Chain A
């Protein structure tokens, strides 16, 4: 079956530091890949997505590239802000399964001033 593995957290950074959160996946065929963000006390929001190999998703300074050869979708940001503190989830979906999302376990990010 499908699975998503994220780097273990939590991650604590200082403001303006570089962020990488690793994500690898196992799936048959060609899944779509996502990063969702969850701010404290809220539901999940889509941060970015990529639907085919070599696509780069980007939003709010975050980027991730769909690497089929390494089955990875690592999240990066060049300079984090305190407001980026949240839980980040990597996920995949396939249309053949009703577009169901399979999530990683999430990575808690804390950015200190």
Chain B
């Protein structure tokens, strides 16, 4: 199993551009999550999903959108990128009620 995979690994955007961060998991996990990690800080939840077609906001959803059309994929969309969105983004997945989350390697995004 590949586990949780994320693409791209690095990206530089200009202010106002948009992009989609890709996340896939091959463990048939129902739950998936997007976090951002700012330097010297813990992770903050952006959006999460408890199954295909179901998504909900986390702590810091502004400026982002998500969709979940299948169990495997959970892309994160940035519209009108801003410097405040410079961060490392992690995708994670888990079984319901199992609690342990499995993390991808992250995407380092810089907005200039």
8 Å CB contact of B42 from A46, A51, A98, A106: A106
Give chain A residues whose Cβ lies under 8 Å from the Cβ of B48.
Answer: 98, 100
A99 near B99: Cβ-Cβ < 8 Å: yes
B50 near A98: Cβ-Cβ < 8 Å: yes
8 Å CB contact of A104 from B42, B90, B96: B42
Stretch in A11-19, A37-45, A63-71, A76-84 touching the partner: A37-45
A101 near B58: Cβ-Cβ < 8 Å: no
Give chain A residues whose Cβ lies under 8 Å from the Cβ of B33.
Answer: 100-101
A73 to B31, CA, bound (A): 25
Q: How large is the interface on A (under 10, 10 to 19, 20 to 34, 35 or more residues)?
A: 20 to 34
Chain B residue with Cβ nearest A43: B103
A105 near B58: Cβ-Cβ < 8 Å: no
Chain B interface residue count, Cβ-Cβ cutoff 8 angstroms: 28
A106 to B37, CA, bound (A): 11
Give chain A residues whose Cβ lies under 8 Å from the Cβ of B104.
Answer: 43
8 Å CB contact of B43 from A32, A51, A89, A99: A89
Contact with A along B73-112 (1 / 0, CB 8 A): 0000000000000000010101011111111111000000
B43 near A103: Cβ-Cβ < 8 Å: yes
For residue A93, CB closer than 8 A to chain B, the reply is yes
Q: List 13 A-B contacts (CB under 8 A).
A: A32-B99, A34-B100, A43-B103, A46-B100, A51-B99, A89-B42, A95-B96, A95-B97, A95-B99, A99-B101, A101-B43, A101-B45, A101-B101
B90 near A34: Cβ-Cβ < 8 Å: no
The smallest C-beta distance from B66 to any residue of chain A, in angstroms, reads: 14
B45 near A100: Cβ-Cβ < 8 Å: yes
Contact with B along A83-113 (1 / 0, CB 8 A): 0000001000101001111111110000000
